[in-house]
Structure 1
Amino acid sequence: MSQSISTQELARRVVQREDTLILDVRNTDEFDNWKIEGDHVDIINEPYFNLLDGINPVTEKIDKDQEVIVVCAKGGSSQMIAEMMEEEGFTNVRDLEGGMQAWSEHLEPVKIAELHGGGSLYQFVRLGKGCLSYMAVSENEAAVIDANRMTGIYERFAKEKGVTINHAIDTHLHADHISGSRDLAEKTGGTYHFPPKDAQDVTFDYASLEEAHDITVGRTTIKVQPLYSPGHTLGSTSLIIDDQYLLTGDILFVKSIGRPDLAGKAQDWVGDLRETLYSRYKALSDDLIVLPAHYSFVEELDEHGSVQARLGDLYQRNESLNVDDEQAFRRMVTENLPPQPNEHDTIRQTNMGKINPEDDKQREMEIGPNRCAVHG
């Protein structure tokens, strides 16, 4: 019986840049679309059906004493292949518990900073999806921003810290993953905050997330200041926390910018996107630390496993922030875009509260990489 490795242990290895060899036995098209990535991750794809009659296709590629982690879609096939490899003399084989489905749902909490007045800010990295969510903690209260649908981790984390989640905030109507913010607010008795300009078709009540309506976490220490910043959606709203951190939602990333087309409004919203990036953000302090809601490339993770960058540095090195010609910018963000997220319209309908798919269907809807970005 082969040994398994948990998503938590694999995430730790990826974040700490440990040498890791993965044998992915999914079909090649699934592998090409989405895979486990990391700075020191080597990965081999050999479809499961090629190995059913024997593991000869991998014996020439992997040393029998080399550690290898076998990965499949849900965990069953990888366990079988790992056992076949052990029978053939491989001495250090492990299979990933739950496969890529579990990998897609794992959240890795990383501490960003101690804040003025004693509060703390944490980033939750969803390595298998490129999603980033946040928790600001002060005294006995917490606010969660852009929560994923797996809300249990936020509840457990808050319990460990001895705080109550009083606020759950979405910076915009998400289209690439199902938001857990409204569900989290209901479970904890907190307030759900949502941008009103994204709420035209929603079916639920919310507190308006808009400029001049600060959200205080704790008695004195953290002020969450909303900043209207349209372009990815009409209602996209950034947050400035503790006058140090700019949570940009899906407007600005470390190596890219948000795409304006996920609601079919690219031509309508491209002007808003440019205005936000080239004027609204430009007027802010260069020293603000940008904390986005997604990342696209594993190299965006720093040595601590977090994704962040100084705003002034992004204006120097992010190519999409340096397109002087407005028409060239328009072409960049409306033409030759990457594929849209899987089932993005169904995800938007779910996040509007119009439909409520079963849990298995929600997992299936989210499978695949982050596709919220435009790369210059």
Structure 2
Amino acid sequence: MAKTITTNELAKKVVNHEETLILDVRNTDEFDNWKIEGGKVEVINEPYFNLLEGIEPVEGKFNKDQEVIVVCAKGGSSEFVADLLEASGYSNVYSLEGGMKVWSEHLVPVKIGDLKDGGSLYQFVRLGKGCLSYFIESNGEAAVVDVNRMIENYEGFAAENGVKIKHTLDTHLHADHISGGRQLAEKAGATYHLPPKDAVEVTFDYSPLEEGNNITVGNTTITVQPIYSPGHTIGSTSLIIDDQFLLTGDILFVKSIGRPDLAGKAEDWVGDLRNTLYSRYKELSENLIVLPAHYSFAEELGNDGSVSARLGDLYNKNEGLQVEDENAFRKLVTENLPPQPNAYQEIRETNMGKINPENEKQREMETGPNRCAVQG
């Protein structure tokens, strides 16, 4: 019986930039759409059906004593292939427990930094989908930003750190993943905040996330200052925390910029996107640390597994911020759009409260990468 490895153990390897060899036995179209990535991750794709008669298709692609992690959709096929490899003399083979289904939901908390008057800021990295959420804690209170639907991760982290969640916030109405912000707020007795311009069709009560409505966490030590920054959605709102950190939602990423088309309004919103990136953010301190809601490329993961960059540095090297001509910018943004995220309309309706799919259906809806960025 082949050995297994948990998503937590694999995540540590990816975050720590350990050399990791993965044999992905899903069908090639599934693999091409979405796979495990990391700075030192090498992935070989060989569909399971090609290996039913024997392991010849992968022989010679790795050494018999080399560590190999076999991955499939849910963990069954990978166990079968791992057993085949072991029976053929491969001595260091593991099957990923739960496969890509469980990998998609795994969250890794990484400390970003200390806050001036006490307290800390953490980034929760969802390696399997490229989603980033944030946990701000001070003096026994916490606010959680862009919460994923696996809210038990945040509840457990709050309990471990002895803090009470008082606020949950979404920087915008998400289209790539189902927000857990409202559910977490209900369970924790917290206030849920959403930009009102993104909440026109929602079916629930919320607190407006708007400029001027500062949100205090702890003994007034952390001021979360919203900045209206439309472009990805009409309501997109950034957050300045402690005059040190800029949470940009899906407006600005480390290697790209947000796409403006997920509500079908690319032509209308591209001007807003440009104004936010080329005017509003330009007025901010270039020393702010940009913390986005997503990442798209493995190389965006830093040495500690976090995703961040100094705002001034992004104005020097992020290609989406280098296009001075307005027509050229419009062309870049509207002609370099990747495919829409999986089930994005259903995800938007779920986040509006219009539909409430079963858990298994929600998992299916979120399958695949986030695709919130323009591909330059």
Match of 1:272 in 2: 272
Which amino acid is the alignment partner of residue 48 of structure 1?
Answer: Y
Which amino acid is the alignment partner of residue 293 of structure 2?
Answer: A
Secondary structure of the structure 2 residue equivalent to 1:35: coil
Which amino acid is the alignment partner of residue 235 of structure 2?
Answer: G
C-alpha distance in 2, partners of 1:218/1:243? 16
C-alpha distance in 2, partners of 1:192/1:267? 31
Task: Indicate if the aligned counterparts of 1:26 and 1:46 stay in contact, CA closer than 8 A.
Answer: yes
> How many percent of aligned residue pairs carry the same amino acid?
73
Match of 1:121 in 2: 121
C-alpha distance in 2, partners of 1:146/1:164? 17
Which amino acid is the alignment partner of residue 109 of structure 2?
Answer: P
Task: Indicate if the aligned counterparts of 1:231 and 1:272 stay in contact, CA closer than 8 A.
Answer: yes
C-alpha distance in 1, partners of 2:293/2:141? 22
C-alpha distance in 2, partners of 1:325/1:43? 39
RMSD value over aligned CA atoms? Answer: 0.7
Please say which of residues 159-168 and 54-63 is displaced more in the overlay.
54-63
Task: Indicate if the aligned counterparts of 2:122 and 2:135 stay in contact, CA closer than 8 A.
Answer: yes
Which amino acid is the alignment partner of residue 271 of structure 1?
Answer: G
Task: Indicate if the aligned counterparts of 1:286 and 1:310 stay in contact, CA closer than 8 A.
Answer: yes
Secondary structure of the structure 1 residue equivalent to 2:49: helix
Task: Indicate if the aligned counterparts of 1:259 and 1:333 stay in contact, CA closer than 8 A.
Answer: yes
Q: CA deviation at 1:273?
A: 0.5
Q: CA deviation at 1:111?
A: 0.1
Match of 1:243 in 2: 243
Please say which of residues 52-61 and 170-179 is displaced more in the overlay.
52-61
Deviations 1:278-307 (A, max 9, x none): 000000000000000000101011111100
Aligned pairs for 1:329-368 (under 5 A) are 329-368=329-368
Secondary structure of the structure 1 residue equivalent to 2:346: helix
Deviations 1:150-187 (A, max 9, x none): 00000000000000101000000000010010010011
Aligned pairs for 1:277-296 (under 5 A) are 277-296=277-296
Deviations 1:201-232 (A, max 9, x none): 00010000000000000012111011000000
Match of 2:189 in 1: 189
C-alpha distance in 2, partners of 1:56/1:63? 13
Provide runs of 4+ in structure 1 moved above 4 Å. Answer: none
Q: CA deviation at 1:86?
A: 1.1
Secondary structure of the structure 1 residue equivalent to 2:338: coil
Give 5+ residue unaligned stretches, structure 1.
Answer: none
Which amino acid is the alignment partner of residue 290 of structure 2?
Answer: V
1:163 maps to 2:163 = yes
Which amino acid is the alignment partner of residue 60 of structure 1?
Answer: G
Task: Indicate if the aligned counterparts of 2:202 and 2:353 stay in contact, CA closer than 8 A.
Answer: yes
State the number of aligned residues.
376
Task: Indicate if the aligned counterparts of 2:336 and 2:375 stay in contact, CA closer than 8 A.
Answer: no
C-alpha distance in 2, partners of 1:323/1:206? 37
Secondary structure of the structure 2 residue equivalent to 1:213: coil
C-alpha distance in 1, partners of 2:44/2:270? 40
C-alpha distance in 1, partners of 2:330/2:43? 37
Task: Indicate if the aligned counterparts of 1:178 and 1:350 stay in contact, CA closer than 8 A.
Answer: yes
Which amino acid is the alignment partner of residue 287 of structure 1?
Answer: N
Deviations 1:113-164 (A, max 9, x none): 0101111000000011000000000011000000000000000000000001
C-alpha distance in 1, partners of 2:311/2:19? 32
C-alpha distance in 1, partners of 2:41/2:302? 16
Secondary structure of the structure 1 residue equivalent to 2:235: coil
C-alpha distance in 1, partners of 2:64/2:318? 44
C-alpha distance in 2, partners of 1:165/1:80? 43
Aligned pairs for 1:142-157 (under 5 A) are 142-157=142-157
Match of 1:200 in 2: 200
Aligned pairs for 1:315-330 (under 5 A) are 315-330=315-330
C-alpha distance in 2, partners of 1:368/1:16? 23
C-alpha distance in 1, partners of 2:41/2:359? 31
Secondary structure of the structure 2 residue equivalent to 1:374: coil
Q: CA deviation at 1:323?
A: 0.5
Q: CA deviation at 1:58?
A: 1.4
C-alpha distance in 2, partners of 1:222/1:161? 17
Give 5+ residue unaligned stretches, structure 2.
Answer: none
Match of 1:112 in 2: 112
TM-score after normalising by structure 1: 0.99
Aligned pairs for 1:76-91 (under 5 A) are 76-91=76-91
